[in-house]
């Protein structure tokens, strides 16, 4: 086994990279382990992220790694962590390659995986014409016909928000219902509520053209927003027995305001540790977790 690092960060997207920057600038040894399968790999560009608006997520990662690489205490390992154990000295992490690495502290920035609604043609358009966040992608739609597929009752919040980006039609999955007040709110915002089920998306390449309904009608659409079911992309937090929260879209790691989990020395940041998913939120959470991991090392010293 290698020497014990100060911190191992698992996950190399916005949260993990932001945490690493705080720690290497504090002159701490950091090993960033990344499986290179970020949730944002389906998106062509990141939007609403200050200073990075319109830049591809992969390019943001490349720039960040280039900057982190200038610090002598930073190391990148592109592998998958498959096991983790808590020891008196800190944490031992097992990699798919069979190698074991150790650190005094661990930050989980593993992100989440999405389970998409089962509508024909939807998966092929994910990140291109089918989205989950209007703040991230709504402006680029340029107005016009927008759909929202309600997979859960909380969709009425997003449906009422979307008219700021276009003309909205709401489709519902079987079993999803809304109260009279929720329907009144959506209709008051100009949302058209479609009774027939959405069964197929029709596209020209990556460009959505229409949604086909169960009764055979076609509704013109430029984009569709959905709610996905999510779960942490790695089970490491659960392996260690960290407390989880069941959110509206799925489970996430419970953390305090600074990213500390219920396991001493273990921190978490980004989409896997929050019910709200956004590049800026993830980056800010990574900064907090990195700072708090450093402070915990100071106290340990």
Q: Is the dihedral of CA 290, 291, 292, 297 positive or negative?
A: positive
pLDDT (mean) for 208-227: 96
d(CA 31, CA 264): 19
| Residue 49 banded pLDDT, cuts 50, 70, 90 | confident
Total number of domains in the chain: 2
Distance CA 162, CA 155 (A): 11
User: In this structure, are 242 and 95 located in the same domain?
Assistant: yes
Q: Final residue of a domain: which of 226, 253, 286?
A: 226
pLDDT over threshold 80, residue 7: yes
Number of residues that make up the chain? 301
Average pLDDT, the chain: 94
Final residue before a domain boundary, out of 200, 226, 252: 226
The confidence score (pLDDT) of residue 152 equals: 86
Work out the average pLDDT over 174-182.
91
Helix boundaries (H) for 70-219: 134-141, 155-161, 180-188
What is the pTM for the complete model shown?
0.92
20 and 109, same domain (yes or no) = yes
In a shared domain, residues 19 and 166: no
pLDDT at 222 over 90: yes
Mean pLDDT of 217-230: 95
What does the pLDDT look like over 232-251, one tens digit per residue?
Answer: 999 999 999 999 999 988 99
- Each residue of 9-21: pLDDT tens digit? 999 999 999 999 9
How many CB atoms are closer than 10 A to CB 230? 23
CATH code: domain of residue 142: 3.50.50.60
- Tell whether 186 and 253 lie within a shared domain: no
SS (H, E, C) 64-82: HHHHHCCCCCEEEECCCEE
Rounded CA-CA distance 292/287 in Å is: 9
Q: What is the pLDDT of residues 123-162, one digit of tens each?
A: 999 999 999 999 989 999 999 999 999 998 889 999 999 9
Expressed as residue numbers, the domain containing 88 is 4-114+229-300
**Dihedral pair phi/psi, residue 209, rounded to 5°:** -115, -40
* 49 and 129 fall within a common domain: no
| Domain end among 184, 202, 226 | 226
């Amino acid at each position: 086994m290698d020497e014990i690092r100060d911190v191992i960060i698992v996950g190399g997207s916005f949260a993990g990279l932001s945490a690493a920057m705080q720690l290497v600038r504090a002159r701490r040894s950091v090993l960033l382990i990344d499986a290179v399968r970020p949730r944002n790999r389906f998106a062509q560009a990141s939007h609403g992220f200050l200073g990075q608006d319109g830049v591809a997520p992969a390019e943001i990662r490349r720039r960040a790694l280039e900057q982190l690489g200038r610090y002598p205490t930073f190391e990148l390992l592109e592998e998958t962590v498959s096991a983790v154990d808590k020891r008196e000295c800190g944490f031992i992490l097992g990699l798919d390659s069979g190698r074991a690495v150790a650190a005094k502290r661990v930050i989980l920035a593993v992100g989440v995986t999405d389970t998409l609604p089962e509508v024909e043609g939807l998966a092929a358009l994910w990140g291109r014409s089918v989205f989950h966040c209007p703040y991230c992608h709504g402006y680029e739609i340029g107005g016009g016909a927008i759909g929202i597929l309600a997979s859960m009752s909380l969709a009425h919040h997003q449906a009422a928000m979307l008219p700021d980006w276009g003309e909205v039609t709401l489709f519902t999955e079987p079993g999803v219902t809304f109260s009279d007040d929720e329907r009144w709110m959506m209709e008051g915002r100009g949302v058209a509520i479609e009774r027939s089920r959405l069964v197929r998306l029709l596209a020209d390449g990556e460009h959505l053209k229409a949604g086909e309904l169960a009764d055979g009608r076609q509704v013109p659409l430029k984009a569709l927003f959905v709610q996905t079911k999510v779960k942490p992309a790695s089970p490491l937090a659960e392996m260690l027995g960290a407390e989880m929260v069941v959110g509206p879209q799925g489970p996430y790691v419970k953390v305090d305001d600074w990213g500390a989990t219920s396991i001493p020395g273990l921190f978490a940041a980004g989409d896997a540790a929050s019910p709200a998913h956004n590049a800026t939120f993830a980056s800010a959470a990574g900064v907090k977790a990195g700072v708090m991991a450093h402070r915990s090392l100071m106290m340990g010293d």
